Amino acid sequence: MLCLGIESTAHTLGIGIVNSNGEVLANEKSTFTTETGGIKPGKVTEHHILMYDFVLKRAIEKANIKLKDINLVAFSQGPGLGGCLRVGAAAARALATYLKVPIRGVNHCIAHVEIGKHTSGFKDPITLYVSGANTQILALAAGRYRVFGETLDTGVGNFLDSFGRALGLGFPQGPKIEELALKGKKYVELPYTVKGMDFTFSGILTKLEQLAKNSELKTKNSQLISDLCYSAQETVFAMLTEATERAVAHINKNEVLLTGGVAANKRLAEMLQLMCKERGIKFAVVPKDLSGDNGAMIAWAGILENKAGIKNKISETKVNQDWRTDQVEVIWS
Ligand code: AMP
Ligand code: MG
């Protein structure tokens, strides 16, 4: 069984090909980037339309298969940007109809979790899922990935991207902030906003934007920029680690998984690793090539759900921009 997975929720158009053992035969992508500023929905949608043919061909070549060898087409049905989601859904419908194979719309957030479980071998982790638009602490309970804590405003990735934008960096700003933070020497006091199991980032962003505006940043004081990046990371990653630790204390599970685009950040992984070590539980982080949005994770989620007997009719493939993680019944795990 070969599944082709199409990811198109936001900045990345990804096409992955995965077999029923979970071997990734191809994981090709094209990511929309900018020199300065953020991503504009119309422009990203256009990017996905224009790059589809190219990414599909590369994935088929990389997997060293023929298109007709595909037995299942999976796609990200939500959550995400409407225009972007519709490009992936339309492509998936066309491909499944042409190949006369089943189609499966998968939840993007759950795909991030499942690929992390697959690569770590963890069976029942508490997952810190950190990406651009989403930030959630998840664990399986009574047949669903329940949300034990989450952001009350933006995702931590969007927070980092917006802060980076204030510094004049281009999208995605998260990796550039990680680099600058390594040169940080002085911790600048910032708000720390954990509310029970949840967290918010917008107040911290406002404070950082004020500091950036009021300071010598205009004259490109590079040490100050590095200090702010360092302080931003230390603050929000400590918040995420604290809330995850509280989940660990309350829920009786002994594995913590870090997944999603921001999981590529070494400092965040280091903090969680330390917390897990102190508590004597296992920790794993998803590999970098599978951390950000990608087609392989969609294909793998498609394989799992298909094995459990779940398929869609074409009429059931309408995209769902606000599809929450805890709305999905997880009958395959
Ligand atoms: P995703 O939507 O899951 O692909 O995640 C994308 C988000 O991850 C964007 O907001 C990026 O800025 C962020 N990101 C990617 N790499 C890093 C990194 N090394 N450190 C912090 N954030 C990152
Ligand atoms: Mg994502």
The percentage of residues in the chain with a pLDDT greater than 70, rounded to a whole number, is 98
Q: Which residue puts its alpha carbon closest to atom 21 of ligand 1? A: 174
CATH assignment, 122-289: 3.30.420.40
CA distance 203 to 170: 22
User: Ligand 1, residues 12, 13, 262: which to mutate, most atoms within 8 A of Cβ?
Assistant: 262
pLDDT tens column, 213-256: 876 565 566 888 999 999 999 999 999 999 999 999 999 899 99
Return the residue whose CA atom lies nearest to atom 7 of ligand 1.
132
Q: For residue 188, give the 3-state DSSP assignment.
A: coil
Q: Rounded to an integer, what distance in angstroms lies between the CA atom of residue 245 and that of residue 141? A: 18
Helices (H), the chain: 41-63, 82-99, 108-120, 156-166, 174-181, 202-214, 222-250, 266-279, 295-307
- Average pLDDT over all residues of the chain: 96
In the reported structure, the alpha carbon of residue 214 is separated from the centroid of ligand 2 by a whole-number distance in angstroms of: 33
Ion ligand 2 residues within 5 Å by Cβ? 131, 293
Ligand 1: which residue has its CA nearest to atom 3?
261
Binding pocket residue ranges, ligand 1, CB within 6 Å: 10, 131-132, 157-158, 160-161, 172-175, 178, 260-262, 264-265, 292-293
For 51-60, write each residue's pLDDT tens digit: 999 999 999 9
Test site for ligand 1: of 154, 158, 160, most ligand atoms within 8 A of the Cβ: 160
Radius of gyration of the chain (CA): 20
- Contact present, 242 and 250 (Cβ < 8 Å): no
- Residue 333: band (very low, low, confident or very high) from pLDDT cuts 50, 70, 90: confident
Ligand 1 atom nearest to 12, measured from its CA: 4
> Rounded distance, CA 333 to CA 191, Å?
39
CATH 3.40.1030.10 fits 2-112+293-327, yes or no: no
Are 120 and 284 spatial neighbours (Cβ–Cβ below 8 Å)?
yes
The number of the ligand nearest the C-alpha atom of 201 reads: 1
pTM greater than 0.75: yes
DSSP 12-69: EEEEEEEETT--EEEEEEEE---SSB---HHHHHHHHHHHHHHHHHHHHHHHT--GGG
From 48, 131, 180, give the residue whose CB has the most ligand 1 atoms within 8 Å, as the site to mutate.
Answer: 131
- Taking the CA of 298 as reference, the closest ligand is 2
151-198 pLDDT, tens digit each = 999 999 999 999 999 998 889 999 999 999 999 999 999 999 999 999
Specify the ligand 1 atom closest to the Cα of 134.
Answer: 2
Taking 90 as the threshold, does the pLDDT of residue 74 lie above it?
yes
27 contacts 55 by C-beta, under 8 angstroms: no
According to the model, what pLDDT value does residue 37 have? 80
* Whether the Cβ atoms of residue 256 and residue 281 lie closer than 8 Å to each other: yes
Domains in the chain: boundaries: 2-112+293-327, 122-289
Distance 284 CA to ligand 1 centre (A): 17
What is the pLDDT at residue 48? 98
Judge whether 2-112+293-327 and 122-289 match in fold: yes
